[in-house]
Structure 1
Amino acid sequence: MSPAIGRATRRSWIIWLTAATVYLLAVFHRTSFGVAGLQAADRFGVGAAALGTFTVLQVGVYAAMQIPTGVLVDRYGPRRVLTAAVLILGLGQVLLAVAHSYPLGLLARGVLGFGDALTFVSVLRLIAAHFPGRQYALLTSLTATIGYVGNLAATVPLTLLLDGPGWTPTFLAVGLLTALYTVVVVLRVKDTPSGEPEPPRGRIDPRALGRQVADTWRVPGTRLGFWVHFSTMFAPNVLTMLWGVPFLVQGQGQPKATASALLTVFVFGSMVGGPTTGTLIGRRPSLRMPLVIGYLTGAALVWTVMLSWSGPVPLALLVPFFAFLSLGGAASMIGFALARDYNPLSRVGTATGVVNVGGFVATTIGALSVGVLLQWTGGNFRLSLLAIVVILALGASRMLVWWRRTRAHLFAAQARGEELPVRIRRRRWDAASPEDAAVAAA
């Protein structure tokens, strides 16, 4: 379990808020295609599968960069990585503003995915360094909540801007404003609390890097965090980042303005659910996995009802359905708490990156699968969105396997007299399988 300082200072809160604002900007850029997707299809002259490639590329770059980002943060510090992130995000959005061809549009979204990839892990590493451990879950959830403000800005306000000033002025302005925020990051963010020396920085040894990633992946709690993140956050991402508005407009017959407004349900649900979940699990860590399992069970029921409904789903059901699905973002934060608890501070950035890969790999697969199936089925959203259910089932099954193995590892550590991050009681279903016993002995 990683150490933490005893008490956060005013300076700690300023550093966190400055860094979290970078994440807000990143989420805005990430989710802008949620309402700009139809306009992008007209601008670049592409169909559903090619449109899905925008999100697949961006999220694929994001997912591929998570482990390297964690290593970079651990080696060079979050301040430098966040500074690079803001500059890259600004560049990507400026490229998108002037792009008229499909290849240049793809390049712009890839650049945005690269910049986005550098943000969240950096913020969480700053939280681990500047705040006590009992506040980690709450600050992680508050960071996600601030990110959802960026998501909110990428719904109705962005729709109005795209319909008013238009594509190029809107994206050019937000790109330049993002790049200018570099000055604030450089002046305000510090890697360590006041009075503590900066950790040594140096060249990355590829062999040491490989060992660090391997050691992180071998920790059962890290793998559990990966599958928690994989299974909880991808479905809301697929809807808010790309397929939400097309599903509501083309599949449900809703006006575009209503569809954009419905996506704000995800934002407000996450803004309420994130801090509530963070506060709850900060006080009672034993509730982490029951909350995740409860969410996944409810999400399976929501998707079953929504995809089996005869005709358009009434708004009276879509609103609570989306509100519940929005809690996936809050539930996914539990994966980062697991990464922090079961890894030393020197490896928290890498572990956070590993966990963060999970949800965005699932998002990439989900967004691409839905686009391809829409192309094959002639725009049948009911059949195409079944891909979400399949991915949900896969993630939940793997999560349950690694929950059991993490518990076996904890019981073995408890028997050795080690201090545990969470106290658990043995259940009947904790009878060890050969795989569980091997994990516990490792």
Structure 2
Amino acid sequence: MSLKHAPPSSFKVILRVFLPFGCGYYLSYLYRTINAVISENLTVELTLGPAGLGLLTSLYLIAFASSQIPLGVALDRYGPRKVNALLLMFAAAGAAVFSIAESFGLLMVGRALIGFGVSAALMSALKANALWFPSDRIPLMNNLIGAFGALGAVSATRPVEVMLHTTEWRDIFGGLAVVTVIVSLMVLILVPEKREMSQRSESFGMQLKGYGRVIRDIFFWRITLIFSFSYTAFVSYQTLWADPWLRDVAGLDQTERANYLLAIQLGFLVGLLLTGALADLLRRTRFQAVHVFGTCILIFVGTQVLLALGTTSGLAALWFLFGLLSSAIYLAYAVQTAHFPAEMTGRAITAMNFFMFVLAFFCQWSIGGIIESFTPDPDGGYSLEAHSTALGIIIVVQVLCYVNFILPGLRKKKNG
């Protein structure tokens, strides 16, 4: 019997398909998040200001975004196994360059290579899920892949901070380069080729033109705008700006800050499991994944309001909730794949990813510019006003996108 018809619990499918791609996404998120913990080390060693640190960290995002459009077509034509294995080698090279860089320019090259190299980690995993698992379980399996990313984010907090007491950040990146090569070989060697899916009748150019249908779809933009701005808010603070906020607003030292960053990642992990399971349980009811997505995003914006106000009481619970609620953003992938026909889903989710990562690049960089526009304190930190201004702008944009997201539904209900 072909593995195509094997149940999702099949040991062989889990071992040879799900786990290798999950490990790739684990590394992707670890790389994305680790700068939040080593930001002070980079600032001191390389005399980086907030804007420079924001640019360096966000280069991962723009390099990631630049590959999304051709990536959607490549995944359809060549399959997730070959594409992901190849690109992970670029990530390994980027980690090696980052570990030896003595200048800001070389650090940027390394960071950009890392971003490009892990750019297929999530999309290839989602593509593999679509090939190997039943369609009604895709929201759950996608969120379980997301949980691997959350574990990577957890690994980039307190564990990395503990390692920094006994080793240099450069050694950590050198080790990551080796691990990334191993994961690349795992994907290449362990994952079976889905031969009947590897050929496409359309030319590469025709498949690229298919993106036009996606971007002309009104529903696509309703989901993409709120997804992109909410995810940008989350990833900007998860991967970088939560640490300066905790230092400047809450007055915490590096060890204490690492614990709170861990709370964000644990909340993200728990949330991915909960929202994925909830969407899976409700899949046969009227309350679908899009409703779970919309409800959680609304409360998520509320947590940002509290942070903008400088709330420091119940801080661990607040940051945990910030991470937990943000996890519902992943349901947008399932919402888009349910809306588009099967032959368009790869291009739909990579188009959404492209817009989000371009936005995240400019947002993460701009947050640093906004904060740096305020006069720093004598100790080099920045005021609550500086942090609140940056957060306030992000909140306002999310509210506008949320109104755009729910308004058609409200009009339909009113007219119906």
Q: TM-score with structure 1 length normalisation?
A: 0.84
Match among 77, 80, 90 for residue 78 of structure 1: 80
1:131-146 to 2 correspondences below 5 Å: 131-146=133-148
Cα distance in 1 for residues equivalent to 2:324 and 2:120? 24
Matches within 5 A, 1:181-260: 181-192=183-194, 197-200=196-199, 205-206=204-205, 208-260=206-258
The Cα shift of 1:338 comes to 1.3
Gaps of 5+ in 2: 376-381
CA contact (8 A) 1:30 1:116 kept: no
1:13 lines up with 2:38 in the alignment: no
Residue of structure 2 equivalent to 1:325 = 322
Residue 34 and residue 361 in structure 1: after superposition, are their counterparts in 2 closer, same or farther (change >3 A)? same
The alignment status of 1:427 with 2:393, answered yes or no, reads no
Q: Does 1:266 align with 2:264?
A: yes
Is contact 1:75–1:201 with CA below 8 Å preserved after alignment? Answer: yes
| 1:182–1:296 distance in 2 versus 1, CA, 3 Å | closer
Query: Within 2, Cα distance between the matches of 1:351 and 1:262?
Result: 35
| Alpha carbons 1:216, 1:351 under 8 Å: kept | yes
For residues 262 and 19 of structure 1, the distance between their equivalents in structure 2, rounded to whole angstroms, comes to 28
Distance 2:77 2:389 in 1: 41
Over the aligned positions, Cα root-mean-square deviation in angstroms equals: 2.4
Percent of pairs identical after alignment? 20
- 8 A contact 1:6–1:132 mirrored in 2: no
What secondary structure does 2:167 align onto?
coil
Displacement after TM superposition at 1:299 (Å): 2.9
Residue of structure 1 in register with 2:374 after alignment: 377
Cα deviations across residues 19-39 of structure 1 (Å, max 9, x unaligned)? 111000111111110101111
2:320 aligns to what SS in structure 1? Answer: helix
What per-residue deviation string (whole Å, max 9, x for no partner) do you get for residues 17-67 of structure 1?
Answer: 111110001111111101011111122222111111012221122223222
- Distance in 1 between the 2:57 and 2:36 partners? 10
Match of 1:100 among 99, 102, 106: 102
Give the C-alpha shift of residue 358 in structure 1: 4.3
State whether structure 2 residue 340 is matched by structure 1 residue 351.
Answer: no
Q: State the Cα distance separating 1:10 from its structure 2 match.
A: 3.0
Q: Is the Cα–Cα contact under 8 Å of residues 300 and 389 in structure 1 kept in the other structure?
A: no
TM-score of the aligned structures, taking structure 2 as reference length: 0.89
Quick one: structure 1 residues 37 and 202, their matched pair in 2 at CA, closer, same or farther if it must change by over 3 Å? farther
| Structure-2 change in CA distance of 1:264 and 1:92 (3 Å) | same
Structure 1 runs of 4+ aligned residues shifted over 4 Å read 201-204, 402-408
Q: Once structures 1 and 2 are overlaid, which stretch shifts more, 122-131 or 210-219?
A: 210-219
Q: Deviations over 1:123-167 (max 9, x none)?
A: 001111111111111111111111111111111111122331212
Distance 1:388 1:6, change over 3 A: farther
Deviates more, 1:150-159 or 1:230-239: 230-239
CA shift for structure 1 position 265: 0.9
CA contact (8 A) 2:76 2:200 kept: no
Say whether the 8 Å CA contact 1:85–1:116 is kept in structure 2.
yes
Match of 2:378 in 1: none
Aligned length: 402
Contact 1:228 1:292 in 2 (8 A): no
Tell me the SS of whatever aligns to 1:11. helix
Tell me the distance in 2 between the aligned counterparts of 1:404 and 1:391: 20
Matches for 1:50-69 after TM superposition, within 5 Å: 50-69=52-71
Q: Match for 1:276 among 274, 277, 288? A: 274
* Counterpart in the other structure of 2:396: 393
Asked if 1 retains the 8 angstrom alpha-carbon contact of 2:297 and 2:328, the reply is no
